[in-house]
Structure 1
Amino acid sequence: MAASARRLCHIAFHVPAGQPLAQDLQRFFGFQPLATREADGWRQLALRSGDAVFLVNEGAGTREPLYGLDPRYAVPTATNLCFDVTDAGRAARTLEARGCCVLVPPVSVRDAQGAATYTVVRSPAGNLSLTLLERTDYRGPFLPGFQPLYSKTGPGWISHVDHLTLACTRGSSPTLMRWFHDCLGFYHLPLSPGEDPDLGLEVTVGSGRGGLRLTALQTPSCSTVPTLVLAESLLGAASGQDQVEQFLAQHRGPGLQHVGLYTQNIIEATEGVTAAGGQLLTPPEAYYQQPGKENQILAAGLEPSRLAQQGILLDGDKDKFLLQVFTKSLFAEDTFFLELIQRQGATGFGQGNIRALWQSVEEQAARSQEACG
């Protein structure tokens, strides 16, 4: 039996001292300080927007940071996913029996607000470790050992984490899917009818031009864990051509590529991010000029020129649509980024936009060559 995850507690990052991730999350994306801890050379700051919590571990201490471990990774990166479980000790024993590497045996932490027990295991997804946390009786705003921070309420653009996307090496998705199923209780979520769970959804972009393979995983309906999406490049793509290959090169291996943050009003959220100075990716003009795109946007009750101005992508048909916009990397390396996503009945992850963007990039390049010629 798997050590079933019940909900996502937080996503942890490791950055060197002075790296501005924590400040950028507050200034550009409306996250607010939740709790802090400074000890053993670490400054740990938990930030929250809605139910989305990021834990930024800054520095390089002599001991492991609380609720995680120091991976000593080559670049600043997302390093850990922390999930609530009913019994951390039993979860550690279960995973160890399945051959998993338990990096931190169960540890109990207590303060005036109660107690929590956690264990850390290695995942097969690159540098990413997983913390399994038992905190049923804890009454504080975050976790034992942290000092609460009471800050003003943020702009409220983000309500929760919609999905987590792992960039994987080619051919590794089936192995990762089996691990998350056997160890944490995830199971295959089809993105198209009749999809083979071993193959996932192949988002091809034309003969010989490559594309992406997407495999979505979810936990049973009794939990509130975000969907986990595995993304890998298909054969045929030129080296470094797509976002997954770029991540693998810059990140120096697999890992958490992006977090999809749900917003109920993506236009308002995007306006707020850009007004604060946050940097969003701008789709090529050709994306909005594709046949049928204007009518598709109008069918969703939106204004095409406004979406184009803000770089918002729209996918879907009939009465089910998905809107998304992507930030530039939050680090100097072209690695981890955020996605703002709004759903109008759609359940996918913008696979139509992957094809459309790929095609529009090529069309834009072709037009540029013609202009130069």
Structure 2
Amino acid sequence: MAARACGLCHIAFHVPAGQPLARRLQRFFGFQPLAAREAGGWKQLALRSGDAVFLVNEGAGPGEPLYGVDLHHSVPSATNLCFDVEDPDAAARALAAQGCRVLVPPVRVQDAQGAATYTVLRSPAGNLSLTLLARASYRGRFLPGFRPVPSAPGPCWVSHVDHLTLACTSGSSPALRRWFHDYLGFRHLPLSPGEDPELGLEVAAGSGGGGLRLTALQSPMCSSVPTLVLAESLPGATSTQDQVEQFLARHRGPGLQHVGLYTPNILEATKEMVLAGGELLKPPEAYYQQPGKEGQIHAAGQQPSFLAQQGILIDGEKGKFLLQVFTKSLFAEDTFFLELIQRQGATGFGQDNIRALWQSVQEAAARKSQGA
């Protein structure tokens, strides 16, 4: 029996005291404070943009932060995905019987606004845990145990979480796919016609060898559950680490590499984020000079000069397009980052854009090594 996820409540992060993640989310990316809690050595702050909620757990208390666990990871990290389910108690019993490791047995939390019940699972994706939560009867602003935080109206550039990308060790995608299928009911989402779920989509980096293997998974229960994307490196002859290998080294193992945030207006969102001081990853200059790229941009109703100025990538054809831009890392360890994505009928993840991102990261690494 799988515990069917029917929504994403929040994504949780663990950071040391004084780490500026919460301030950066507010200042650069338009997230607004939602609710807070301080207890047991932990400062917990939930921030929201549209339906996307990030929970920043700051500190390192002797116990566990509410609605999660502290796995004592050595670097700041996105550590927990909290999914809405119908019955955490039944899910915990069934999953434990199937061999799933339950880190926190079902806990009921209650305050004046109602109650919620949750349980926490250990995933095979590095330090990432999964919280299964039932909160249908809760009337408060966030979750029981948190106090509402007043905030002034601010920008809302993001509407919801589009996808979650896990960086995996080479060869581990099939086992991860089966885990999410068996325990949470996720199913393979083909990114190309006739795609083998065991092999995923191979995106070759170019003549230098290497590339990425992507396997997408989605919940059949509810469209509000973001797509999970498993990313691993392909064997190759490149002399420098690719972005997945860099993440694994700097993060010290597998984990949540980035969150794709959906924006209904990527042009406005990127412009305002840059004005606020947010740093975006620029694609190679040659990206916008590729044969047919200018025509593709015009066909999507966009201007090449503005997309190039903001570093926005575009992919698609036949009236269906995808626009993407990536931030620089939110942590000094150069691991976790955000993606802004706008879909104009496209459902994939931009195979050509993945190559462009790959090339920009490789070029940046080369420049850094030459200047060292």
Q: TM-score, normalised by structure 1?
A: 0.95
Contact residue 187 and residue 217 of structure 1 kept, 8 A: yes
Range that drifts further, 219-228 or 4-13: 219-228
**Deviant stretches of 4+, over 4 Å:** 357-366
1:128-166 deviations in Å (ceiling 9; x for gaps): 000000111111110000001121222110000000000
Range that drifts further, 63-72 or 181-190: 63-72
* RMSD, aligned CA: 1.7
Partner residue, 2:270: 270
Partner residue, 2:331: 331
1:19-46 deviations in Å (ceiling 9; x for gaps): 0000000000000000000011110000
Contact residue 286 and residue 364 of structure 1 kept, 8 A: no
Shift of 1:352: 1.5
- Any stretches of 5+ residues in structure 1 without a counterpart? 369-373
* Inter-partner Cα distance in structure 2 for 1:9 and 1:360: 33
Range that drifts further, 246-255 or 220-229: 220-229
Partner residue, 1:3: 3
Contact residue 7 and residue 222 of structure 2 kept, 8 A: no
Partner residue, 1:70: 70
Percent of residue pairs bearing the same amino acid type: 80
Contact residue 52 and residue 161 of structure 2 kept, 8 A: yes
Partner residue, 1:104: 104
Contact residue 165 and residue 257 of structure 2 kept, 8 A: yes
Please tell me the residue identity of whatever aligns with 1:206. G
Secondary structure of the structure 2 residue equivalent to 1:19: coil
CA 1:364 to 1:252, structure 2 compared with 1: closer, same or farther past 3 Å? closer
Q: How many residues align?
A: 367
Q: TM-score, normalised by structure 2?
A: 0.95
Partner residue, 1:51: 51
Please tell me the residue identity of whatever aligns with 2:247. F
Q: How does 1:1-373 map to 2 (within 5 A)?
A: 1-206=1-206, 209-238=209-238, 240-358=240-358
* Inter-partner Cα distance in structure 2 for 1:363 and 1:27: 29
Please tell me the residue identity of whatever aligns with 1:192. S
Range that drifts further, 351-360 or 152-161: 351-360
* Inter-partner Cα distance in structure 2 for 1:177 and 1:97: 20
* Inter-partner Cα distance in structure 2 for 1:361 and 1:112: 49
- Any stretches of 5+ residues in structure 2 without a counterpart? 368-372
Range that drifts further, 205-214 or 140-149: 205-214
* Inter-partner Cα distance in structure 1 for 2:3 and 2:316: 35
Contact residue 257 and residue 335 of structure 2 kept, 8 A: yes
* Inter-partner Cα distance in structure 1 for 2:322 and 2:297: 10
* Inter-partner Cα distance in structure 1 for 2:178 and 2:364: 40
Contact residue 84 and residue 133 of structure 2 kept, 8 A: yes
Partner residue, 1:371: none
CA 1:132 to 1:171, structure 2 compared with 1: closer, same or farther past 3 Å? same
Contact residue 280 and residue 328 of structure 1 kept, 8 A: yes
Contact residue 49 and residue 154 of structure 1 kept, 8 A: no
* Inter-partner Cα distance in structure 2 for 1:288 and 1:186: 36
Contact residue 284 and residue 359 of structure 2 kept, 8 A: no
Contact residue 208 and residue 238 of structure 2 kept, 8 A: no
Shift of 1:89: 0.5
CA 1:139 to 1:237, structure 2 compared with 1: closer, same or farther past 3 Å? farther
1:249-300 deviations in Å (ceiling 9; x for gaps): 1101000000000000001000111000011111111111111111111111
